[in-house]
């Protein structure tokens, strides 16, 4: 054991491995929230939770302590400057990609706007974007803003019209954004389809998966920025991951967003978010080895 191992550091899983293919980045973005701010505290809270649960992925039947994690810690974001924050996030991602050259990028948010920045940086490696979310986030603008947590998916569609998008678990939207989503190329599986198991996935190529924690029912994830009743449970989430594994040869990146530790109960949302990250890592390992 290295002498450094006796000092506790807030690294994901508390199992550091320099050559691990599992790269963790914190992005404490908390600029455009319109209900309950506090997502900037999520990366640390999720890391702490990950150090206090077993590092076993039931999705892949793998013990992830055997693989470890390479935690690059948090991107340092300038307060109140979304444009500069975007540059910093993209610069950080680019640096990790150049240094590691392969492996999985696990991003701990932060609000959902960060997915817009991360997908832009990874777009050349992405065939399909899979979004788990209670909301569609396809408004043209929200409260006079064109780029925020409620518009990011529309901005991505405008920038990358050929991007295949699968949206799972939605149940809360305005008429405008639902009409837009139905007219777009988004493959939309609302909460009823998700709970019934009526999700029919085609071959998706390389996937990026974004999990907004409000896709889960507030009974399981109360500590989110914008909670919505009638969400999925973890069993449903795992079953959907199994379907993704059947239709995708590789997961290139994932993010877990919208955890708000300031309104959480007994840290259960951060614990669930850490477990989600572990299962997504297991999904990557099980697909990359086939």
Read off the pLDDT of residues 145-188 as tens digits, 9 standing for 90 and up. 999 999 999 999 999 999 999 999 999 999 999 999 999 999 99
**Rounded to an integer, what distance in angstroms lies between the CA atom of residue 281 and that of residue 273?**
12
Q: Is the pLDDT of residue 245 over 60?
A: yes
Strand partners, 187: 166
Q: Where are the domains of the chain?
A: 18-288
- Other CB atoms within a 10 A radius of the CB of residue 66 amount to 9
Q: Can you give the pTM of this predicted structure?
A: 0.95
pLDDT band at 1; cut points 50, 70, 90: very low
Task: Work out the average pLDDT over 259-271.
Answer: 97
Whole-number pLDDT of residue 287:
85
Task: Work out the average pLDDT over 76-101.
Answer: 90
Q: What angle do CA 162, 81, 222 make, to 5 degrees?
A: 75
Half-sphere exposure of 67 (CA within 13 A, CB side): 24
Q: Which two tokens stand for residue 42?
A: 């999520």
Residue among 104, 55, 110 at smallest CA distance from 253: 104
Classified by CATH at the fold level, domain 18-288 comes out as 3.40.800
Q: What is the mean pLDDT of the chain?
A: 93
- Classify each residue of 72-108 as buried b or exposed e, where b means 16 or more C-beta atoms within 10 Å of its C-beta: bbbbebeeeebeebbebbbebbeebbeebeebbbbbb
């Amino acid at each position: 054991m290295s002498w450094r191992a006796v000092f506790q550091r807030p690294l994901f899983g508390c199992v550091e491995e320099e050559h691990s293919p599992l790269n963790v980045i914190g992005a404490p973005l908390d600029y455009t929230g319109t209900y309950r701010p506090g997502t900037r505290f999520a990366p640390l809270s999720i890391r702490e939770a990950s150090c206090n649960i077993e590092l076993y992925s039931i999705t892949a039947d793998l013990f992830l302590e055997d693989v470890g994690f390479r935690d690059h810690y948090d991107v340092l974001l300038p307060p109140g400057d979304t444009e500069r924050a975007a540059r910093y996030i993209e610069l950080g991602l680019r640096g990790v990609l150049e240094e590691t050259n392969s492996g999985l990028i696990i991003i701990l948010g932060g609000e959902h706007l960060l997915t817009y920045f991360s997908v832009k940086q990874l777009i050349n490696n992405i065939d399909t974007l899979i979004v788990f979310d209670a909301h569609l986030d396809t408004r043209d603008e929200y409260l006079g803003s064109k780029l925020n947590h409620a518009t990011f998916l529309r901005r991505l569609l405008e920038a990358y019209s050929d991007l295949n998008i699968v949206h799972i678990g939605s149940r809360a939207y305005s008429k405008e954004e639902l009409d837009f989503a139905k007219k777009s190329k988004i493959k939309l599986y609302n909460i009823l389809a998700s709970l019934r198991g009526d999700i029919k996935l085609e071959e998706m190529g390389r996937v990026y998966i974004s999990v907004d924690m409000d896709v889960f029912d507030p009974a399981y994830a109360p500590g989110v920025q914008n909670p919505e009743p009638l969400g999925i449970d973890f069993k449903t989430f795992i079953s959907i991951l199994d379907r993704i594994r059947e239709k995708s040869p590789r997961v290139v990146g994932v993010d877990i967003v919208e955890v708000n530790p300031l309104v959480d109960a007994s840290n259960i949302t951060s614990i669930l978010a850490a477990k989600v990250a572990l299962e997504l890592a297991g999904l990557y390992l099980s697909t990359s080895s086939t």
